[in-house]
Amino acid sequence: MEINYIALIQSMLSPGIMISACGLLLLGMNNKYSLIVNRIRTLTAEMRTLEFGHSAEDRIDCIHRQLPLLNNRMKLVENAVWLYTVGIALFILAIFTIGISQLSDGGLAIQFSFLFFVLGLVVVLIGIFFAAREVRLGYHIVQLEINYAVECAKEDH
């Protein structure tokens, strides 16, 4: 059997491109995760330093409403990161099985490469749904901050 190494490399590149795409998604989600953790730390530090007056109690109440939402948001980011990582692993498996199928007589390896590739796409798609839910929840949390700021501005006038 003659092996066309150029065709082999080309067929192995498709999942490789998906690995790069997932890497970019993963990078973005890791950045979001870090921002959420920093926001939680900022809110809890602010809560500890506030004096207990009427305004401080309102702010503490706002912080208490945000912390569980931020925790939920962090869980969504964590799920997306895990799914993107699993997707990358599946694409890597697809690359290996494509190589094996080209070096052998195909058969089962071709079916596994297709299965790994499709599973990788499905897992990444599910990760995207978690990322979309995280964005929606992030918007809700920002609305809490805006509402608090508006209420504070009303009280100052």
pLDDT for the residue numbered 75: 94
pLDDT for the residue numbered 39: 82
pLDDT for the residue numbered 130: 94
157 residues of the chain, pLDDT tens digit each: 566 666 766 776 777 787 788 788 888 887 887 888 788 778 777 766 765 555 678 778 888 888 899 899 999 999 998 999 999 899 899 888 888 887 887 778 888 888 898 899 899 999 999 988 988 888 888 778 777 777 776 776 6
Secondary structure letter of residue 53 according to DSSP: S
pLDDT for the residue numbered 31: 87
Question: Domain segments of the chain: what residues?
Answer: 5-156
pLDDT for the residue numbered 12: 67
Identify the sign of the CA torsion 118, 123, 127, 132: positive
pTM exceeds 0.75, yes or no = no
Instruction: Take residue 14 and report the two structure tokens written for it.
Output: 């498709």
pLDDT for the residue numbered 100: 87
Q: What is the dihedral of CA 104, 106, 107, 111, to 10 degrees?
A: 130
C-alpha distances in Å from residue 101, one per residue of 6, 109, 113, 114, 135: 14, 5, 8, 11, 41
